[in-house]
Every structure is written in C-alpha cells, then in structure tokens.
Amino acid sequence: MSREQRSVNEQDKKLIEEKYEEEKAKGVKFFPDIIYKDTIVSFAIFILLVALAMFVGVPEEPPADPSDTNYVPRPEWYFLFLFEMLKFFPGQIEFLGTGVLPGLAVLFLLLLPLYDRSVKRHPRSRPVATVIMSLVVAGMVALTIRAVLTTPPQAEAVGLTYQEQVAAGQELYIEHCAECHGEEGEGGVVEDVEGLEGTYLEAINSEDFLYTRSDETIFLVTEYGQPNLGMPAFGLAYGGPLSTQEMDAVVTFIRSWDDRIVIEEEAAIPALAEGEIPDYETHVFPIFKRRCISCHREGKEKGNYIMTTYDAVMTTGDYAPNVIGGDLNSNLIRMINREEIEAGGPMPPTRPLRPEEIDIITRWVEAGALPVRVETGLEATEGVTGTLEVPDLEATEGVTGSLETPTVEATESITGTQ
C-alpha cells in the first residue's frame, strides 16, 4: 500500500471517529430508545405473520405415504434455489452443487472482514462488491423462480373436515366399489364383473358388518384385498390405485352408514317445479355420478359407454348416440325404464332409479338434452288458447297507405282467433 493510500485511509478513519463521537454525544440510549424501536418492528412482524396464518394459511398436503411414488418432494421456498442448482450438476458431479459451491460461498462471507478493510460502505464506493453481490442475489431469485415454474402441482389432502372426507370417500367408493357392493353397500348378486358374475355379496351397510368390523379392519381389507374371494387389492403398496388417505376416506364413508354415528344428510338434488326444465349439472349429472359412473367410466366403460362428462354421455358407446335430444325413444330413456333392447338391458342392472330420478332425466331429454338449461321464454305459451284482438280501424277512414301485420313466430302450439 502506498503512502498516499495510507494517508487517505487515515483521513477516512478520522472522519468516521469524529462522526461516531458526535452521534454518541447526542445521547441516543440503547434503553429505552433502541429497545422501543425493536419492539415496534417485532410486533409489526408478529401481526403480519398472524394475519398470513389466518387469511392465507398453508396448503394442506397429504400425510407422508411411502407407497405413493407420485409425490414430488421439494424443500421450503427459501432453499429452492439450492435445489434447482442441482439440476446443473447431475450424476457424479452433484457434490459440486451440494457441497463445494455452498461451502465456498460461506467461506467467502466468513473471511470478508479479513480481506475487505475499506471503511467506505456506500454501494457506489464499492463497485466490485456491489456487482458481485447483485449477481449472486439475481441468480438466487432466478433459480427460485425457475424451481417454482418447473415444480408440478402437489396433491392436496383428501377432505379436511369430516363432511369433506365422507364426500371424497363416496366418490371413490362409487368409482371403485359400487359395481360389486352396490351404490349404498346393499350387496346382492354381482353382474357384469369378470370372474364374479352371479356371486352373491353380503351387505356391508348392515349392523352385522359395521358393528363387528373396526375401521382398521375395513382399511386392511381394502388395502390388501381378498384375493381368494375375488376382491383385488386397492392399496398402492399392493399394486392398487388408492393412496392411504384415499382409502381412509373410503373407510370414513362406509362408516357413515353406521347408525351409531350421527351426520348431516347429503344435500338432495333440488326439486323441480311443474314444467321446469332440468339443468344438466344441477339435476342430471348428480344422478349419473351416483348411479351410473361406477360402471361407465374410463377403465370400466361397459358397452364402451362413458358417463363422466356431458360430451361422453352424448357421443360414446357401441350403440351411440344413446341420448338424442327431444327423442324419448333414446336408448338411455328406454333402459332406465327397464326395457330390454339391443343396446342393453335395464339400467342400472341391480336397483332401478327412483321415479323422481327417471322424471328428471326424461324431462331433460325431452327438452333437448342440452348441457346448460336455456330459458326460451316460450314455455308459458304451450297449449295457450285465447283471442288475438285487432285494434279498432274506424279511425283510419280516409288514411291511405299500407297496414303491415307483425310477424308472429313460434306460435305452433297457440290456438285462437283473429
């Protein structure tokens, strides 16, 4: 270091010491002045954390399940940049990203007081340090953003409340279990299930079953199955499709049949007023979901007919279209009315739809089988009788010109006199 540089450093130190003594003489005390400021800031941060916990919260993830290979582990957001950096150091050079680079960064910070002896702290007076740190921070932010964008969505917990658990379990039960055990666990003779045709299954919604089986027993039977009796395993650990929390939801739903448990009744399908046209999502699909989808879905499409979406209902099947808007001789209408036709037999095969359910589907098809209910405004004109009065034309004597008669459309069902 040259004599001039040492002189500059001495001058800087002298200025700093003078400023320090000046500030010290002003008498800003650590207590209570500094403590008061720290307390205010700490309390503000505390309130912010409480507000975030109350109004934003943390998304619920499913419990750890070693058998679920679909889960994508990720660290907390403030470590995502390190996690993302590992993608640039694959295989045998992974140690560079996990140990060498982070270690050098920590060592750089630890030794900073030894090799950076400058008394100046303003960023413009320290261009090299400012540029290096800016690049480091920018790199961390970029890696964090890249990690967030490339992370697949995580599975959410199946049902947070008891009612949500029951609802989720019902959907899974209808999809995987109702085909053999019945929509409401009533059992009976199994039909159209390969290897089990004609087999009689006892009810699982009875007191005999629910009073003598614990939740753990039902869970284990669901997970492992009963291979000697024709029931496959449903747990992921044994090659099935259901995770631990999904099987828990199924067990919760089955247990909801237990008359010793009091729960709120499932919301019923809204009743239709006389002459009201059913809406597909509100009235029709809930029936399909509860009574039909267990056999007519991807993977178990009986007759290649899928009923999980509106488009599938209208277009799929070996005898498509099974639903024709306005045609009450459509295959679906005839089969739910227990007719045996070329497209198939009575549906559902075990337990018929209730009369009100048949009425909803019939009205929907009769009105055009539309995906969304359309109020035409002409419903009230059906079967209307009356007189169309023509204004008195006496006042028009002496008036020359033409009298145009308005066009009346969509009056096919109107009878009357002019």
Query: Identity (one letter) of the amino acid at 220?
Result: L
What's the confidence (pLDDT) of residue 329?
93
**Burial class, 120, CB count within 10 angstroms (exposed 0-12 / middle 13-18 / buried 19+):** exposed
- Which pLDDT score is estimated for 407? 42
Residues 6+ apart with CB under 8 A from 361: 278, 284, 287, 332, 333, 336, 353
- The DSSP symbol for 230 reads T
- Looking at domain 162-255, its CATH superfamily turns out to be Cytochrome c-like domain (1.10.760.10)
pLDDT tens, position by position, 229-277: 889 999 988 999 998 889 999 999 999 888 877 554 445 577 788 888 8
Residue 36 tokens, joined: 């008061």
pLDDT of residue 386: 42
Tens digits of residue pLDDT in 96-139: 988 899 999 899 889 888 877 777 778 888 888 889 889 999 99
The token duo for 330 is: 């459509």
Task: Judge residue 232's burial from the number of C-beta atoms within 10 Å of its C-beta, 0-12 exposed, 13-18 middle, 19 or more buried.
Answer: middle
- Report CA-CA distances (Å) from 171 to 130, 246, 258, 302: 58, 10, 18, 19
Per-residue pLDDT band for 327 (boundaries 50, 70, 90) equals very high
Tokens at residue 280, please? 């597909």
Please tell me the least confidently modeled range out of 191-200, 218-227, 306-315: 191-200
DSSP-derived letter for residue 341 is: B
Please tell me the pTM assigned to this model: 0.50
Contact 193, 179 (CB under 8 A): yes
Distance CA 255, CA 117 (A): 72
- Check whether 393 has a pLDDT greater than 60: no
* Residue 289: predicted pLDDT: 81
Domain ranges of the chain: 77-150, 162-255, 280-366
Assign 379 a pLDDT band (cuts: 50, 70, 90).
very low
pLDDT, the chain, mean: 81
Q: In 58-96, which positions are buried (b, 16+ CB within 10 angstroms) versus exposed (e)? A: eeeebeebeebeeeeeeeeeeebbbbbbeeeeeeeeeee
